[in-house]
Every structure is written in structure tokens, then in C-alpha cells.
Structure 1
Amino acid sequence: MYSPPRMAQPNPSQRVHGARPIVLVGLMGAGKSTVGRRLASRLSLPFVDADTEIETAAGMTVSEIFAKFGEPYFRDGERRVIARLIDGRPKVIATGGGAFVNDETRDLILTQATAIWLDADLRVLAERVKRRDTRPLLSGRDPLPVLRELAAVRNPLYALAHIRVPSANAPHEVTVAAILKELGK
């Protein structure tokens, strides 16, 4: 039976990243990895993609993990990898779209990092994700209805992030500049 995720509250005093990791959250296609790389470069920080770390640890792709073991197994590995990545050292971390839904992961991010929600219009996201067929939650499905379902559950949780930045249908540097402004950089 489905039980709604617990809603942890971010500490507003922890908004500016200082020496804390910066963690990008949001739906698939929001640009977390691409924006994350560019943001890390602008801040002279290391960049880590949680999905890449999961794939390296598992020796298989995210799609293969989903197909072989299922989503709950993947989410447990994702939780463990993100807990390892949030080690108190400054860096930029791109998470998978579902990572912030996990209560433990969300609490860790909100208390030990600066969470930034890359929020984009669902039609923009649908266009972006159509370009890659490696997303297991979209396998053989029309992306827009799937994204609507995911947004209904996830957006209230993403809204708990310390910072919300629109991820518009514009060059990624626009999003990076908006994040830097929010961080006071």
C-alpha cells in the first residue's frame, strides 16, 4: 500500500552552500547533469553524477539494474551512493530524478547539503527526454503522461529544496547563472 513520503523541512539558514555539497534535484530532463558540470566548473568544484557512480558500483547501466533487479533495488543503491557522496566536502552532485523522494536521502540532502530544484515545464522536459531512450521509467511510454504522474508525486517534495531555479528552454548557461545568483556568487 502506498504511503506518502514524510515531508522534511529544510533549514533556511543553510541556504547558501558555503563548504557544503550542492545537490541538484528535479525530474528527468531538467538538466541536472549538464547544468551540474557547468556549475561545478564555474565554482571550481568537483562534479559527481550519482547515476554514473551507481553504474560504476554495479557494473551495469541504470536501465540494466532496473530490468534485472527492479526499481526498489536501484533506489536502495541510489540511497547508499548519495549517502557516500555527501561527505561534507564541497562539490556539485547531480541526482537521479527519484532520489529526493526517499525520506532518508532527502533528509540527508536537506541537512548536510544545499538542495537546488531545477524546475522545468513538463512539455519542455518531454521534448528533452525524447532524445534519449535509456530512461527506464519511460520504456515504451509517451513521456508527457509519465512526467505528469511523476510531477504530481515529486514536485511537492522538490519544493522543499533550499533553492528553486527554473530550467527554461534556453542555453544551460542561463540556468547556471540563475543558480549562481541565488547562491550569491
Structure 2
Amino acid sequence: MRQPAAAEQRGDGRNIVLIGPMGSGKSTVGAALARRLHRPHVDSDHFFVARHGPIPAYFSLHGEQVFRAEEENIVAELLDSPRPSVISLGGGSVLSPRTRELLRDQLVILLDLTEHQAALRLGDGSTRPILGAHPVEAWKRIYAEREQIYRDCADIVMTPDDAHIDVRVDHIVRALNTTSRRDPSV
């Protein structure tokens, strides 16, 4: 197995956390980035499903407030792992003040995307309970509400592009090696 080059070991023992709106590719990019950096990859939504079953069913049964509280607990648990990982968070995870505070000690990457890209990736929105009957309109509203939170949490912002997944990972690795950490006191 190829050992990661020194430049690819960036992270200083911290988790690399991917945030962004629904459909931005956090799960796919996170898995590819983890392979490149020889780190484990954990997806908070997949972890949630393994523990509680499908998110739409849990959301429907318990409501958004209970879902968000459990999501917050899962994210805290994942961020506390003793082994530095690549962690993909659900789009709404950053709504939690506790989660945002915990992210200050991580390397956080925002994966951005355009409305057009989101429309192509969301489909009918049936697996995303917060989108309702008009997924693209709901996505636009939700993104507008969360965009500044995403940007405030991020050390690195990956702009929307249609590049192949390996190219996106290359861009992230370069950014990890050239970006200094934001001041956590801000």
C-alpha cells in the first residue's frame, strides 16, 4: 500500500470535516478523500441510519427537533474519535451551535454547488424529508438560510465545479497543504 506523501498527511491529527448543502457530494468526495489520505471515512447520515433506521422515517415519527438533537449527538461522537478521520456531515448539522463549536477544532471544508447542480442531484427529493413537494425551491430557500453558517465554519471553500471526483480531491489536497487554519477566536 502506498504511504501518503508528507504533503498529503496535512491535518495535524485533526479530523477533516466536509460540510455543505444537500447534494454537494460530501459523501462521495469524503470517501475518495479518505482513500487518498489513508484515513477512515465516516458519514454522519450513514451512521444515523445504522443506529436509528432511515432518516425520512425517523424524521416523520419524531419530528425535526428530535432528529436534530440526535444528529448533534452523533456528530459530537464522531468528532471525538481518537483516530483522525474524514467525516462527511449532513447538510443541516451546522445548525447546531454545539456542532459549530466542536468544528472549531477540526479542519473544515465547505463543498459548494450551484442551484443547477443541486437540481440534477436531488431528483424528486423523496429521500430528503426537509425538501417536501418542491425540492429545488426548498433547496434554494434552505441554502440561502444556511450559506453564511457554512462559510463561517469553513477553513477551505471548494467552489462549485463539474470536475471529476479525483480532480476535486486533488484540489482539496492542494488546499489542505496551502491553507492556514482560521483563527478559532473569531
Residue pair 2:125, 2:131 contacting (<8 A) in 1 also: no
Structure 2 CA distance for aligned equivalents of residues 167 and 41 of structure 1: 22
Match of 1:174 in 2: 167
Which 5+ residue runs of structure 2 have no aligned equivalent? 1-9, 179-186
Match of 2:140 in 1: 148
- Report the AA paired with residue 83 of structure 2: R
Match of 2:73 in 1: 80
SS at match of 2:177: coil
Structure 2 CA distance for aligned equivalents of residues 138 and 153 of structure 1: 14
SS at match of 2:87: strand
Structure 2 CA distance for aligned equivalents of residues 159 and 18 of structure 1: 22
Kindly report which structure 2 residues correspond to 1:102-117, keeping only aligned pairs within 5 A, or say none: 102-110=96-104, 112-117=105-110
Which residue, 112, 116, 123 being the options, matches 1:130? 123
Which 5+ residue runs of structure 1 have no aligned equivalent? 1-15
Structure 2 CA distance for aligned equivalents of residues 131 and 148 of structure 1: 15
| 2:22 corresponds to 1:28 | yes
The number of residues matched between the two structures is 167
Match of 1:13 in 2: none
Structure 2 CA distance for aligned equivalents of residues 32 and 52 of structure 1: 12
Structure 1 CA distance for aligned equivalents of residues 162 and 118 of structure 2: 9
TM superposition score normalised by structure 2: 0.85
- Report the AA paired with residue 155 of structure 1: E
* Higher RCO structure (Cα 8 Å, ≥6 apart): 1
- State the shift of 1:132 in Å: 5.8
Match of 2:87 in 1: 93
Match of 2:182 in 1: none
Residue pair 1:26, 1:118 contacting (<8 A) in 2 also: yes
After superposition, give the CA deviation of every residue in 1:141-171 in whole Å (9 maximum; x if it has no partner): 2x22112111111110111111101242232
Residue pair 2:72, 2:93 contacting (<8 A) in 1 also: yes
Which residue, 153, 157, 162 being the options, matches 2:149? 157
| 2:119 corresponds to 1:120 | no
Which residue, 31, 41, 56 being the options, matches 2:35? 41
| Greater than 4 Å deviation, 4+ residue runs | none
TM superposition score normalised by structure 1: 0.85
